[in-house]
A and B are shown apart, each in its own frame.
Chain A
Amino acid sequence: MPAACRADVETLLRNKKLDRTLVPVATAGVPVGVVQETAKTGLFELDQQLGGGLPLGQMSEIVGPRSSGRTSLLMSILASATSRGEMVALVDTFDVFDPESAATAGVVLSRMLWVRGDSCAPAFPSLAHRQTGADRVITRALKATNLILQSGGFGVIALDLADAPPHALRRVPMTTWLRFQRVVEGQEAIGVILGSAPMSRSAGGVSVSLHPRQGQMWRNLESDVRTARARLVPGADTSPVRLRASA
């Protein structure tokens, strides 16, 4: 987008008092303007690429296909937060969280609020007659996330929708994501949504996309991690960071 058009858009946003959604353009990894507070993810290379970590007061998302390392990355974020003494919350929509893995990853379980969804609901693209079950489970999970966001006091609030059917996610009103963004704004907290495809994040948030590497997968759970910031800024995607999850 030409610079003049961009300047016009930013001026319009400021006039409408929507300039909080503006994100400074990153140049060579160094942000311009106000430095956004971040929280580390626990991965050094990813934190470097993100300029310190995931931004506070924003909704970010971790997306990728199955076995790409999404859960491992989320556990790393939770472990980093709990090691800092923060309380974290995980809304486990389909009750697939494994405490053993989390403890091995370094999560302090006593500082974690685990909200378990319905494990009997179909966790994968469902048959027609089971659509209402997944919708109901997702709706409850969204309500639980909203309650936790409004309560405040948590360092990381994670919503696990990785196994949600895409058609059920498409039925979630857009206002739901906007409400999450409004609630988390201004808090010293990170909102993280785990999914199989990009669905929603704050304009100031980060989309972390994982792409499993072929061939060498058996040695380690390897993925290329790409991050994306403001969609209006071209070329925001940087070179991928390799995520290697091991024991």
Chain B
Amino acid sequence: MFACLYKPDQPREHGGRPPFSPDAEKTGSDPASGSRLLDVARLFSPRVDARSETVVTLEVDGLTRLFGDHKTIGDQLRRAAVDAGLGSVHVAVATTRTTAILCAAARAGVTVVPAGDEAAFLALLPLRMLEVFLPDPACPAEAGRQAVWRRRESRLPRASSRSRESRGTPTPDTRVLSVLSRWGIRTLGQFAALPAVELSERIGQEGLAWQRLARGDDTGPLVSTREEDPFEATVDLEWPVESLEPLSFVLSGLLDPLCQRLERRDRGAAVLHLHLRLVTKDTHSRSLQLPAPMRDAKVLRTLLLLDLESHQASAGVDRVTVTIDPTPGRIVQESLLTRALPAPEQVSTLLARLGALMGDTRCGSPALVDTHRPGAFAMTPFRVPESPVATAKVGARPPSPSELRRASACQGSSPLRDSPGSPTLLTELRRGHVVAPRAEADAASACQGSSPLRDSPVSPRSPTACLRRFRLPIPARVLIDHNRPVVVKTDRPGLSGGHVHACAGPWRTSGEWWKTSTAQGMSGMEALRGLTGWNRDEWDVSLGDGGLYRIFEDRESGRWFVEAVVD
């Protein structure tokens, strides 16, 4: 025997309307009430199946010796639901789960269906009662179960389903019910009385599956919803621990059993929480967001220790608590044809070690920003793509500046700035730098009708002259003659400068005028650090020491700086 607990949605109107009505406003499922419904069911039976936030079924075989007859069991369930604050809950007890669900959805109060009377109870129920079996988006397990059921039962040809989807028709689940409604079928009894052969010829196997539900037949056994135990472990230390080495042993003792539990449940750790209770009664808490689900105890311990190296506790520790937020384990199919990528566990450990060595903000992937500020960039977390296929797809050659200029021209923009001066390579170099900041941003917005990024074959190309940029430009003394620099000197050892053999420029660039300028009292260092706008004339000079440099004059202050070396 099975019992069903059904929590109806709040109807739009009260009095006279059935508790389950398609016209009733769906207030949405309440995860809290769903979990309470589940808890109520678990008070009576360990075999509980949470179909959705509002429907829970449980097996009640053997409870007659505890509570009495099935009517008493139903009353006890309803009373427990009221005590749990769930309000009015429909309860039904029947020999099949399907019958119990339909009766609970249709009738308020406690309904007991005697064995053999299922057809009589279900015959007069309206056809729309079958909508209770539609998958609930809030319950992924139920959605998955429904998907498996549809794949097993449906024999619809792919072409017809695709054409139906293209016309924007309802999903196949509600399509069957709408067809039956057009045929004049109003009750489950009428639906159950239809001949099976003719029904399958007209609707297919999906119609037969719905008919079995209308008859109250179960489509599969009850699959218990397992109770998730929290992945948490705590240990009280006999004496306070102040260094990391003894703490390492404590963490090993906590993480090993937790990881074994994760492996048994096919789960991985998504977030790792560490709470250290100090002797001063404070709590030093750290949370690590892992890049990929992991359950290797050694890796997790290493990550925690590396994090504690950078964020040490202020006093001795007398209690250690480790909590893991689990997530389903990943199944990653590696390709034999593409290069193996570093595992997420390796990468996370490497990044943690590099962060402890160089600093948290000094390691990552560079990214361009959508600005004309020279040398602007952003640091993003370094991530390894999950799928080798994704890396293979992105293996195309990045666009050349000419392709980007063509793409930008299609968009109607003019990426080239006015660049007075000699039309030499350096002009082309400057154009490359004008376009380059938009390289990453415009990669996805190529000109419509052409896709130079995807269609360009990989081809050999000459190297591009690159810069070695000083993060803080070096102050310089520049001698000007006929509006051109002739001598560049700095106080930096190894960069003494010299006479200018050749130069190109100036290229005037400015931007972010809305930020506080140096004229308003901000120092030049803020401008160099990018905290204010910029207004400069840039030159490319070749000095007597054999180097090729990029220098600029800050037009606000009149000072000269060496910005980069062309190498």
Contact = CB atoms under 8 A, between A and B. Distances in A.
29 contacts: A44-B460, A65-B546, A67-B566, A67-B567, A69-B465, A71-B466, A73-B463, A83-B397, A87-B384, A98-B468, A98-B564, A99-B368, A100-B467, A101-B436, A103-B436, A104-B435, A104-B466, A110-B367, A115-B354, A116-B363, A151-B346, A153-B341, A153-B346, A154-B342, A219-B424, A221-B566, A244-B462, A247-B401, A247-B431
Interface stretch (A6-14, A24-32, A140-148, A226-234): A140-148
Interface in B340-390: 340-343, 346-347, 349-350, 353-354, 357-358, 362-368, 375, 377, 379-380, 382-384, 388
Interface of A: 42-44, 65-73, 75-76, 79, 83-87, 95-117, 119-120, 122-127, 140, 143-144, 147-148, 151-155, 162-163, 165, 188, 212, 217-221, 243-247
Given A72-B464, A162-B567, A247-B431, A96 B470 contact: yes
A85 B466 contact: no
A66 B546 contact: yes
Contacts of A87: 341-342, 384
B396 A66 contact: no
B224 to A, nearest CB: 41
A124 B494 contact: yes
Contacts of A152: 342, 346
B98 interface: no
B466 A140 contact: no
A75 B341 contact: no
A221 to B, nearest CB: 5
Interface string B38-81: 00000000000000000000000000000000000000000000
Contacts of A104: 401, 432-433, 435-436, 439, 464, 466
B375 to A, nearest CB: 7
Contacts of A101: 433, 436, 464-467
A113 B363 contact: yes
Contacts of B470: 96, 119, 123
Contacts of B437: 100
B357 A140 contact: yes
A76 B466 CA distance: 10
A75 B565 contact: no
B466 A113 contact: no
Nearest to B379: A114
Contacts of A102: 366, 466
A157 B435 CA distance: 28
B338 A85 contact: yes
B339 interface: yes
Q: For this complex, into which size category does the number of interface residues on chain B fall?
A: 35 or more
A99 B467 CA distance: 9
A198 to B, nearest CB: 17
Contacts of A98: 375, 466-469, 564
Nearest to B400: A106
Contacts of B358: 115-117, 140, 144
A122 to B, nearest CB: 7
Contacts of B472: 119-120
A66 B366 contact: no
A220 B431 CA distance: 15
B547 interface: yes
Given A104-B432, A218-B502, A125 B464 contact: no
Contact of B495 (A68, A73, A124): A124
A105 B425 contact: no
B548 A75 contact: no
B425 A247 contact: yes
B357 A103 contact: no
Interface string B430-468: 011101110110000000000000000010111111111
Contacts of A96: 468-471, 565
Nearest to A210: B567
B96 interface: no
B466 A105 contact: yes
A-B pairs, 7 with minimum CB distance? A124-B494, A153-B342, A101-B466, A99-B366, A85-B391, A119-B471, A71-B567
B366 A109 contact: yes
Nearest to B338: A85
Contacts of A109: 365-368, 440
A83 B396 CA distance: 6
A143 B546 CA distance: 32
Most chain B CB atoms below 10 A, which of A66, A75, A124: A66
Contact of A106 (B347, B397, B566): B397
Contacts of A220: 425, 465
A244 B467 CA distance: 15
B567 A69 contact: yes
B493 interface: yes
Given A115-B362, A219-B425, A147 B354 contact: yes
A129 to B, nearest CB: 11
A149 B436 CA distance: 31
B340 A153 contact: yes
Nearest to A114: B366
Nearest to A71: B567
A148 B353 CA distance: 10
A99 B461 contact: no
Contacts of B565: 66-67, 96
Contacts of A115: 354, 358, 362-363
Nearest to A154: B342
B120 interface: no
